[in-house]
Structure 1
Amino acid sequence: MNVVVVIPARYASTRYPGKPLVELTGATGQKRSLVRRSWDAACAASGVARVVVATDDGRIADHAAGFGAEVVMTPESCRNGTERCAAAAQALGLQDTDVVVNLQGDAPLTPPWFVEALIAAMAGGAEVATPVLRLDAAALNSFQEDRAVGRVGGTTAVFDTAGRALYFSKEVIPYTGRRFAEGEEIPVFHHVGVYAYRPAALRAYAGWPEGRLEKWEGLEQLRFMERGIPVTCVEVEARGRAFWELNNPVDVARIETILKAQGVA
């Protein structure tokens, strides 16, 4: 399969302006920007023919080009990463590509096997696919603590027995009503901010207005579901790796701690 990874990166984040250029310190004390670490994560996945940074900001474009990334400029009007991927696909002429993968620029801890699992799901006929990761007790507590103080943290997903998404939310769903001990199987799944699309689904998405649920939750993938396009949830395993996205300034310290624990330079 011909697979292209697009990393959407915008400067004007509502919650964290300038986020793609924030520097994260690794295990050796080396500082690398968020977008650079996301690019590194994309390049580590096998089966990928091309990795492109898609942005609307000259500062990000210059920075990404400086570390060797291919860059495509996209309109400021793109409201989310999927729209930016659609704009990048159009600009790059990717209509004949088998799969476009959206590895969002705030997910530098994405293991390569997450991307590889999506590629495998797309080979099985999915139109849109995204990874989900079963939470352990510590991660669930972090999610619940974020919500308790009114902080928007990770996204959770529920899906049917065939893996088709039923809903995604920034609330912790399903509601369990209790805490879990370490080692218990927890029925809550973290939605990982990576997507794989067929080019036709991506083109269709760009032509639809923002969905009602998408607007309220602030979750772009809900637009597909509101239009009847199934989103396949692909369960992945952490294999001892911690995963966290950079959504808020407080997440910088969390991610740096993980980088150091994993020995990532």
Structure 2
Amino acid sequence: MSVLLVIPARYASSRYPGKPLVPLKGATGVEQSLIERSWRAAMEVSGIDRVVVATDDDRIKVASEAFGAEVVMTSELCGNGTERCAEAHAALGGGFNIVVNLQGDAPLTPAWFIEGLVEGLRAAPEAEIATPVLRCDGATLNGFLEDRKAGRVGGTTAVFGAQNQGLYFSKEVIPYTNKTYADEADTPVFHHVGVYAYRPGALAAYPGWPVGPLEQLEGLEQLRFLENGRQVLCVEVEARGRQFWELNNPADVPRIEAMMAQMGLE
């Protein structure tokens, strides 16, 4: 079963223009751009047949090819990473059994998150898309709550049913809890990891579906699947002591650099 991994990246981010080219310092002080670190994370994943960067910007194309990535140019009209993945898969001639979307703002994504995701989708033939979820510890949950109080969007949270079918995803912290948790305690809140694995039929259909009110309000592309009655499989993954964070805002740069330093990631 062949697997394509696409890293969608656009320069004109509304929240953080030029984000893919932002430099990040590792534990040794070496700087690499966000897109390069995301590509290097992708190259560590086993069971992937091909990795490409999908962009509509020549600056990202030039930078990506300079560090050895294969680049697929896509339209400026792509509304989100899923649409860009659909266009990239089509541009490559299709033919892959699973397409993985590793968004270009998640350089700390461990390889086992993606490997578990692909395995989960293979084992659930009824699901058309799968995405990882990670149980929050108290420190992560507190960080989410602090971000919201400060008016920032931090991580996305997910709620799912008994068969791990996604019920909802939100930039708010859900489900509601008024309990205080110690930093290392397990909480009832799950962090949605912004990675997706699609079956090609659902991926190809996605750009033709209308943008629903929930997707529009939350700005979360996976809600289009739920709003069109498609099953989203939530695959629980384990941190194994690894810290995880996505780069959503300029304030996330020092946070991610501190995590890389603490984990010894070059």
Normalization by structure 1: what TM-score?
0.98
Equivalent residue runs for 1:62-77 within 5 Å: 62-77=62-77
SS at match of 2:188: coil
Correspondence 1:97 to 2:99 = no
Equivalent residue runs for 1:185-200 within 5 Å: 185-200=186-201
Question: CA offset at residue 252 of structure 1?
Answer: 0.2
Question: CA offset at residue 185 of structure 1?
Answer: 2.6
Query: 1:66-98: per-residue Cα shift (whole Å, max 9, x none)?
Result: 11000000000111000000111111112x211
SS at match of 1:51: strand
Question: CA offset at residue 177 of structure 1?
Answer: 1.4
Distance, in Å, in 2 between the alignment partners of 1:92 and 1:150 is 40
Structure 2: runs of 5 or more not aligned:
none
SS at match of 2:186: coil
Identity %: 66
SS at match of 1:196: strand
Point out 4+ residue stretches in structure 1 off by more than 4 angstroms: none
* 2:141 alignment partner in structure 1: 140
Question: CA offset at residue 169 of structure 1?
Answer: 0.1
Distance, in Å, in 2 between the alignment partners of 1:184 and 1:101 is 31
* 2:109 alignment partner in structure 1: 110
Question: CA offset at residue 181 of structure 1?
Answer: 2.0
Distance, in Å, in 1 between the alignment partners of 2:252 and 2:115 is 26
Query: 1:108-129: per-residue Cα shift (whole Å, max 9, x none)?
Result: 0000000001110121123100
Distance, in Å, in 2 between the alignment partners of 1:225 and 1:46 is 29
Amino acid at match of 2:72: V
Query: 1:32-51: per-residue Cα shift (whole Å, max 9, x none)?
Result: 00000000111101000110
* Contact 2:3/2:100 (<8 A) preserved: yes
* 1:172 alignment partner in structure 2: 173
Structure 1: runs of 5 or more not aligned:
none
Question: CA offset at residue 183 of structure 1?
Answer: 4.2
* 1:47 alignment partner in structure 2: 47
* 1:6 alignment partner in structure 2: 6
Query: 1:105-157: per-residue Cα shift (whole Å, max 9, x none)?
Result: 00000000000011101211231000000000100000000001111110000
Equivalent residue runs for 1:197-212 within 5 Å: 197-212=198-213
Distance, in Å, in 2 between the alignment partners of 1:93 and 1:115 is 23
Aligned length: 264
Question: CA offset at residue 182 of structure 1?
Answer: 3.6
Distance, in Å, in 1 between the alignment partners of 2:184 and 2:213 is 38
* 2:15 alignment partner in structure 1: 15
* Contact 2:53/2:71 (<8 A) preserved: yes
